[in-house]
Amino acid sequence: MEKPGSMRTLGGGIEENILAILDSSEAKDTLDAFEDRIAFIEAVRAASIVAKNGTPPTYKMYEAIFSILRIGKSLELTMASFQLLNELDKRFPRVNSSDVDISNSSSSVPELIMVQEVWFPFVFSSENASSERGAANNSEGPVDSSGFQLLIQDLADATDEGNLRASETKSLANMLLFQYLVNVFEGDFRPRNSVYEDTMNWVVLRESLLNMLLVSRKVNYKSLMKDCLTIMCKLYQNCTGFTDDLICSENSAAQPAENFDTAAAISLLEVGKHTCIAMQKFLIMIMELDVSKKSAEMQGSTTRADGVRCTFWVGAELLWWR
């Protein structure tokens, strides 16, 4: 049902040359270090995206790009790393489903194609608990289940209007990080769910990143859903408030308030809107996963290890049981 795939990465010589751009300034926070990180991102884009026969970055290069996104030292670096990671995922998907050849009865069932030994921004595997514990202590590396919940909690706290404006760069970095992680969830979940609908093989979805997150004992599902809805509501209110402030600032001849930064407000407005969209996408995927899981339960395909999670929409409220 699952078919391993392969992906040729950049050669060792190219990797060394590109990573060397960061070596001299990795731990520094200077103008030269900033320019080196920008140069590194552009070098990766040129080698993997712009090049006609571009190949994906190596594991270490992916880690370096993701580290730049997580550190969030500046808005420009955060945006550049965020855009590059999304471009790479579109160019080099980690999971895909094979096309069905209706003329060949033996190929009438789609197969899941997974690239082997590929970098992921997550560490969820229950078989790799030591790696997940290590990820929890690494604020620049892959995100584990507890790290994802902490990210959601931080966003819920930061989306209070006062907190959001007081720490624009950090809030923007966290929102962009969340958007990217949701894109990775989607790239992994969509082909798996499509294959599951055709094959009813629950194992395909059991091994999805989204399911591994939700069944983790480190995740409080009720709190996670509550924070997700809080983020959506507060971001909507903040975006409305930012829009009003921008209109007042543009129409008023008076000097703008000292604590009002038009550029920051515009950035927060745009990123906030896309974060709301990403949150909606995240919640919809959870609901779709639950629908598929319910059908698997009816067939007796699930086990106690899959957990018990029911989600019901009642009016505008979401009720949780776990």
Q: Which residues pair with 143 in a beta bridge?
A: 122
Residue 54 contacts by C-beta under 8 Å, 6 or more apart in sequence?
A: 47, 48, 91
Higher pLDDT, 10 or 293: 293
For residue 308, the tally of other CB atoms under 10 A from its CB is: 11
Pairing of strands 310-314, 122-123: unpaired
Are the beta carbons of 57 and 44 closer than 8 angstroms? yes
What span, in angstroms and rounded, lies between the C-alpha atoms of 34 and 40? 10
Token pair of 89 as six digits: 């995922």
CB burial of residue 264 (10 Å; 0-12, 13-18, 19+): middle
User: Nearest Cα to 18, choosing from 52, 53, 55, 47?
Assistant: 47
What span, in angstroms and rounded, lies between the C-alpha atoms of 208 and 307? 14
Residue in this structure with the two tokens 């698997």, named with its chain if needed: 296
pTM for the model = 0.84
What span, in angstroms and rounded, lies between the C-alpha atoms of 176 and 80? 11
What span, in angstroms and rounded, lies between the C-alpha atoms of 282 and 299? 26
Are the beta carbons of 89 and 104 closer than 8 angstroms? no
Task: Reply yes or no on whether the pLDDT at 268 is more than 80.
Answer: no
Residue 68: CA count within 13 A, CB half-sphere:
30
What span, in angstroms and rounded, lies between the C-alpha atoms of 179 and 187? 12
Task: Reply yes or no on whether the pLDDT at 320 is more than 50.
Answer: no
Biggest CA pair distance of the chain: 73
Are the beta carbons of 144 and 124 closer than 8 angstroms? yes
Instruction: Work out the pLDDT band at 1, boundaries 50, 70, 90.
Output: low
**Cα angle at 317 between 160 and 321, to 5 degrees?**
105
Task: Reply yes or no on whether the pLDDT at 307 is more than 60.
Answer: yes
Query: Tens digit of pLDDT for each residue in 159-186?
Result: 875 566 656 778 889 999 999 999 999 9
Instruction: Work out the pLDDT band at 313, boundaries 50, 70, 90.
Output: very low
What is the arithmetic mean of pLDDT over 103-122?
Answer: 79
For residue 76, the tally of other CB atoms under 10 A from its CB is: 12
Which pLDDT does position 207 carry in this prediction?
94
The full length of the chain comes to: 322
Token pair of 294 as six digits: 């319910």
Which pLDDT does position 278 carry in this prediction?
96
Are the beta carbons of 229 and 240 closer than 8 angstroms? no
Instruction: Work out the pLDDT band at 125, boundaries 50, 70, 90.
Output: low
User: Nearest Cα to 146, choosing from 177, 128, 124, 171?
Assistant: 124
Which pLDDT does position 124 carry in this prediction?
85
Which pLDDT does position 53 carry in this prediction?
87
